């Protein structure tokens, strides 16, 4: 039987479902921008973008100009928002591909205006106010208003949106989320009075699910789109459907005696007679080394512990002394098998990180297999 040593299955019906759920939560008249940066959080940007659009997303968001180019090359004509910083070369790309860009400093805005005039192109500009994230964006509300006015006054620029980003939307008891809203709302209301057709946007996935007060005109949703919980708990309980399953197979089954060890450093020794499965996937595929002796996988519908140090290309799993597991059996490292489920959130909690990093860390050498949504069959 032919097996993939490492396979990531991506359920595009789940992505479409999650986009539709987020769009419904936003309500009538509000726009969903599907964030597909970092290759769709490791799921595959172009496939997931197509599923998100089928689910109601009207905009797509990325971090870099290169990511936007890749989407354009695959035929996407939706509005594309590049949220990251741009150098001079990347700025040229934004004009070629008709991308929306973000500004927060006057010198950069002036460079955009000069380049737009010289190229006889229009630049669509979103002004970013830093209300507490502490990264990109101007912290001064008056500066933000001035940038809006300068954008509107420039013949080759089109003021399109005002935005901010939440630092603690995923912390449900955080008061700082409300503080950021208090800082942003008066600026947004002032800008809306002058430019009623501009898009005000602030909400990420967590903010959409947390509070309608943060919805404004558009929301930029990433993690929930892929069925991962923005609150780092259980996405299924929120009506989301995880899109990703990470699989391998049993390459060998070995009997061990008490005291036998497996893996580098002999970090685990058999307490008695038992068996292990050797699974040909490892940290070279993105299954984190920190999960050594610290995770479960599912084989034939049953959980089994990862034992020994995870190596670049192999994981060892204890099966017990009387196992029915055979070479060739499927191993689920993330996903469901029977009544058991291993969530990305579970793995993240075990090693002190977040589900974003678990998904984004799946390496390119892991083959992706896409299961299409029915409405995508003719695309």
Q: Is 312 exposed, middle or buried (0-12, 13-18, 19+ CB in 10 A)?
A: exposed
12-227 and 244-374 in the same fold = no
- Please report, rounded to a whole number, the percentage of residues in the chain having pLDDT higher than 70: 98
Catalytically annotated residue among 23, 128, 226, 264: 264
Token pair of 234 as six digits: 């259980």
Phi and psi at residue 286, to the nearest 5° = 100, 5
The contacts of residue 236 (CB under 8 Å, 6+ apart) are 242
Token pair of 142 as six digits: 């008056």
Token pair of 366 as six digits: 């892991």
Please say if the pLDDT value at position 210 is more than 80.
yes
User: Would you list the domain boundaries of the chain?
Assistant: 12-227, 244-374
Mean pLDDT over each residue of the chain, to the nearest integer: 96
Distances (CA, A) of 18 to 57, 63, 74, 151, 238: 10, 21, 22, 35, 10
Task: Show the beta-strand stretches assigned E in 300-372.
Answer: 302-307, 315-318, 330-337, 340-342, 367-371
CA 10 to chain centre: 13
- Residue 379 has a pLDDT of 45
Residue-wise pLDDT for 4-36, tens only, equals 999 999 999 999 999 999 999 999 999 999 999
Correct CATH for 244-374 of 3.40.50.720, 3.40.190.10, 2.30.40.10, 2.40.37.10: 2.40.37.10
Please say if the pLDDT value at position 307 is more than 80.
yes
- Residue 267 has a pLDDT of 98
- According to the CATH classification, is domain 12-227 in 3.20.20.10? yes
| Pairing label, strands 218-221, 199-203 | parallel
Cα separation, 252 vs 249, in Å, equals: 9
Please confirm, yes or no, whether 264 is among the known catalytic residues. Answer: yes
Which pLDDT band holds residue 378 (cuts at 50, 70, 90)?
very low
Please confirm, yes or no, whether 370 is among the known catalytic residues. Answer: no
Altogether, the residues listed in the chain come to a count of 379
Residue-wise pLDDT for 322-340, tens only, equals 999 999 999 999 999 999 9
Which pLDDT band holds residue 1 (cuts at 50, 70, 90)?
low
CA 185 to chain centre: 27
Distances (CA, A) of 118 to 69, 95, 114: 22, 11, 6
Q: What torsion, rounded to 10 degrees, do the Cα atoms 264, 270, 271, 274 define?
A: 160
- Average pLDDT, integer, range 34-58: 98
Residue-wise pLDDT for 154-193, tens only, equals 999 999 999 999 999 999 999 999 999 999 999 999 999 9
Residue-wise pLDDT for 102-114, tens only, equals 999 999 999 999 9
Asked if 103 and 152 touch (Cβ cutoff 8 Å), the reply is no
Catalytically annotated residue among 23, 37, 41, 283: 37
Which pLDDT band holds residue 206 (cuts at 50, 70, 90)?
very high
Alpha helices in 85-175 (DSSP H): 88-96, 106-119, 141-153
Please say if the pLDDT value at position 293 is more than 60.
yes
């Amino acid at each position: 039987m032919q097996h993939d040593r490492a396979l990531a299955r991506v359920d595009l019906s789940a992505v479409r479902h999650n986009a539709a759920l987020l769009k419904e939560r936003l309500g009538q008249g509000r726009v969903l921008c599907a964030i597909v940066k970092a290759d769709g959080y490791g799921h595959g940007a172009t496939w997931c973008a197509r599923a998100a659009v089928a689910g109601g997303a009207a905009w797509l968001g990325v971090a870099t100009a290169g990511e936007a180019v890749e989407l354009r090359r695959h035929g996407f004509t939706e509005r594309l928002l590049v949220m990251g910083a741009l150098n001079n070369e990347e700025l040229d790309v934004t004009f070629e591909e008709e991308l929306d860009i973000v500004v927060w400093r006057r010198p950069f805005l002036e460079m955009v205006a000069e380049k737009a005039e010289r190229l006889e192109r229009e630049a669509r500009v979103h002004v970013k106010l830093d209300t507490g994230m502490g990264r990109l964006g101007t912290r001064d509300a008056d500066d933000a208003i001035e940038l809006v006015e300068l954008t509107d006054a420039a013949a080759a620029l089109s003021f399109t949106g005002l935005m901010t980003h939440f630092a603690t939307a995923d912390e449900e008891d955080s008061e700082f989320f409300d503080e950021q809203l208090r800082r942003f709302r008066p600026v947004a209301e002032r800008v809306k009075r002058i430019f009623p057709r501009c898009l005000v946007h602030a909400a990420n996935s967590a903010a959409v699910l947390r509070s309608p007060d943060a919805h404004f005109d558009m929301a930029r949703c990433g993690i929930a789109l892929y069925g991962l919980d923005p609150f780092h708990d259980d996405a299924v309980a929120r009506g989301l459907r995880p899109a990703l399953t990470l699989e391998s197979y049993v390459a060998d089954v070995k009997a061990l005696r008490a005291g036998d060890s497996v893996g580098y450093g002999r970090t685990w020794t058999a307490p008695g007679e038992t068996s292990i499965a050797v699974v040909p996937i490892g940290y070279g595929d993105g299954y984190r080394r920190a999960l050594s002796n610290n995770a479960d996988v599912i084989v034939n519908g049953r959980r089994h512990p990862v034992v020994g140090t995870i190596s670049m290309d192999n994981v060892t799993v204890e099966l017990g002394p009387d196992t029915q597991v055979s070479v060739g059996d499927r191993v689920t490292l993330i996903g469901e098998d029977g009544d058991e489920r291993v969530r990305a959130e579970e793995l993240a909690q075990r090693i002190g990180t977040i589900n974003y990093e678990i998904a984004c860390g799946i390496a390119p050498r892991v083959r992706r297999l896409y299961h299409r949504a029915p409405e995508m069959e003719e695309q």
